Structure 1
Amino acid sequence: MEKKQKIILDCDPGHDDAIALLLAARHPGLELLAVTTVAGNQTLEKTTRNALSVCTLAHIRDVPVARGMAQPLVREARYASDIHGESGLDGPALPQPEREAVPEHAVDLIIDLVRSTDDVVLVATGPLTNVASAITREPAILSRLKGLYLMGGAIGLGNVTPAAEFNIYFDPEAAAIVFNSGCPITMIPLEVTHQALATPAILERLRSLGRPVPSFVCQLLEFFGATYRQVFGFTAPPVHDPCAVAALIDPTLVNQHSMYVAIETRGEYTLGRTVCDVYGVLGRRANACVGYGLDAPRFWELLIETLASYGEESASEG
């Protein structure tokens, strides 16, 4: 039996974060050690409650959920209520969480788990405030981390400004710390996630499973699709965050290229941009593997098969 990859999911649920959590908690190739929350799509209070609600829905009982950083390192928070709604998970009815977050701060939990566990991969699907704070507080974890997979950035156009993707824009100083840290980074940018579109055919496949968790995901995507049509004009919503988890599960799903990535922290029009040196013109050593293509049919097969494994009573215990 193949050894499971141990991961920590650092997230800001968020519709697509919720789906990433469900994938990470259930896929047989992964062992989810913890869920850590950060402010981003909504306030820390709301993203934490959303993570706990998703765990309740899916009967994920043995995975600790820890609250993290409530603000960017140096800037004011700018939430994504236009996309995710006032709760951060608008659309479906959310169950009341059956448990509370653990007392330990997310940054401390990340440090403790990486110190005590070999070969941990950190998967970050929100702003990088927790990750940067952990690296800054305890640089020794960098030699312990097997890698960091993150959903964020763009080679080309952004989605919160013409230049910047939301997760990086929310806390560019944190992103700069992470990309300058020397940690092995796999960056899953908008170029990849915009190929993971939840079309009507995908929604019908989820709906036809007739089970609570896939039905919940379908409802998430229906709301997400409506806001993406209104704000961006997309005919189907891109499912960003599960792409980072899927790329860890099966690296062949994503075409990648190693390159140097700088984070813009001062530009008037380019704040938060991931400056991707695709052609190596800066002469700097690569600090990330950056995705640029996705095998979308295989991605959806992996995701739907995993969601389908949640039975009527959703017996996942993490």
Structure 2
Amino acid sequence: MDDATGLLTAFASPEFDLLAVTTVGGNVSAGKTARNARILRQIAGREDVPVFVGAERPLKREPAGAGEFHGAEGLGDLEPFEPAAPLGEGAAAEAIVRLAMERPAGTVALAVMGPMTNLALAMRAEPRLAAHLGPVVVMGGARSEGGNITASAEFNIWADPDAAAEVFASGCRMIVMGLDATHQVRATEDRIAAIEALETESARTAAAMLRFSQRIERVIVGWDAGPLHDPCTVAWLLKPELFDLAPCRIAVETDSDLTRGHTAVEFRVDAATAKHFWATKADAAGVFALITERLGAGR
């Protein structure tokens, strides 16, 4: 649900030169996420942006979904359909390498809204990629808030901790939107209603998904206003001033079943050489104002 809102916001933001959308197995299977990205692309009227299908499974683990939070098809109440435009040719990891390496270093940013399997595979294929990328903005991890899939792990990292560990160790510059920040960005009744009041197809789609999430969060978690996680990556790329960041070093637990996917966030680092930056504070009103403005201007 929140990934979809993030994608629709990105599609409606003219500042972005969107090179591609790459999909991965996560909350639902890789086949469904690839179809869903194409559905959202069609709703947004952005068939100019290629969609590449990504990894079907984690590097070393069995796939683990979260359909109970997002619906069996990963679309909430939205009825799936076969989009008109096809997938791009080739795998997501190949596309990431090609699109980034054919452009000047530091000019291609990635917003990662799911497990990091594709990015880890791309870095294995092209060892120069980590140093070549612009910032990699990740939704994943947890520290003071605790986990949302286990006591200490957030789902996106937990789903493929081995891929996350490789990417965090790669040396690329990473902006990390963990639960400490995304739990501050709540989809309150007023904020959902403001998006529902818009007349674009993108806004109607996002609002319907936010309503679905609101119902699910009330039943499963007991929250009236659930957090909006993944769009924080897009919001940071558009307006980084909406977030406070702290330089740090992040490592991921891969060996323990008890703490699989735990993100160890160490703030005792040299700020001048830090590669990881942990979001500590989010301007929730500003994030929702940005999303609402973009969805209202979209298709």
Q: What range describes the TM-score normalised by the shorter chain of this pair? A: over 0.9
Task: Name 1:97's counterpart in structure 2.
Answer: 83
Task: Name 1:257's counterpart in structure 2.
Answer: 246
Paired residue type of 2:150: T
Q: Please report how far the alpha carbon of residue 218 of structure 1 lies from its aligned counterpart in structure 2 after TM superposition.
A: 0.8
Alignment map for 1:148-163 (pairs within 5 Å): 148-156=136-144, 157-163=146-152
Does the CA-based 8 Å contact 1:25-1:31 persist in structure 2? no
Gap runs ≥5 in structure 2: none
Residues in 2 aligned to 1:103 and 1:305: alpha-carbon distance in whole angstroms = 33
Residues in 1 aligned to 2:77 and 2:4: alpha-carbon distance in whole angstroms = 13
SS in 2 for 1:136: helix
Q: Please report how far the alpha carbon of residue 279 of structure 1 lies from its aligned counterpart in structure 2 after TM superposition.
A: 4.3
Task: Name 2:279's counterpart in structure 1.
Answer: 291
TM-score (norm 1): 0.89
**Structure 1 residues 95 and 213, CA, compared in 2 at 3 Å: closer, same or farther?**
farther
Task: Name 1:128's counterpart in structure 2.
Answer: 116
Task: Name 1:64's counterpart in structure 2.
Answer: 50
Paired residue type of 2:255: R
SS in 2 for 1:30: coil
SS in 2 for 1:126: coil
Paired residue type of 1:196: V
Q: Please report how far the alpha carbon of residue 251 of structure 1 lies from its aligned counterpart in structure 2 after TM superposition.
A: 1.1
SS in 2 for 1:262: strand
**Structure 1 residues 59 and 131, CA, compared in 2 at 3 Å: closer, same or farther?**
same
Task: Name 1:196's counterpart in structure 2.
Answer: 185
Residues in 1 aligned to 2:154 and 2:119: alpha-carbon distance in whole angstroms = 18
Does the CA-based 8 Å contact 1:260-1:287 persist in structure 2? yes
Task: Name 2:292's counterpart in structure 1.
Answer: 304
SS in 1 for 2:195: helix
Gap runs ≥5 in structure 1: 1-14
Once the two structures are superposed, what CA deviation does each residue of 1:285-318 show, in whole Å capped at 9, x if it has no partner? 74410001101111111110000002xxx2xxxx
Does the CA-based 8 Å contact 2:12-2:44 persist in structure 1? no
Paired residue type of 1:170: A
Please, what is the CA RMSD of the aligned residues?
1.4
Task: Name 1:76's counterpart in structure 2.
Answer: 62
SS in 2 for 1:186: strand
The yes-or-no answer on 1:18 pairing with 2:4 is yes
Q: Please report how far the alpha carbon of residue 28 of structure 1 lies from its aligned counterpart in structure 2 after TM superposition.
A: 2.3
Does the CA-based 8 Å contact 1:261-1:286 persist in structure 2? no
TM-score (norm 2): 0.95
Residues in 2 aligned to 1:238 and 1:104: alpha-carbon distance in whole angstroms = 34
Once the two structures are superposed, what CA deviation does each residue of 1:239-280 show, in whole Å capped at 9, x if it has no partner? 111101111111111111001111001123211010111345
Aligned residues: 294
Q: Please report how far the alpha carbon of residue 96 of structure 1 lies from its aligned counterpart in structure 2 after TM superposition.
A: 3.2
Identity among equivalent positions (%) equals 36
Residues in 2 aligned to 1:249 and 1:95: alpha-carbon distance in whole angstroms = 31
Once the two structures are superposed, what CA deviation does each residue of 1:31-50 show, in whole Å capped at 9, x if it has no partner? 11100000001000000010
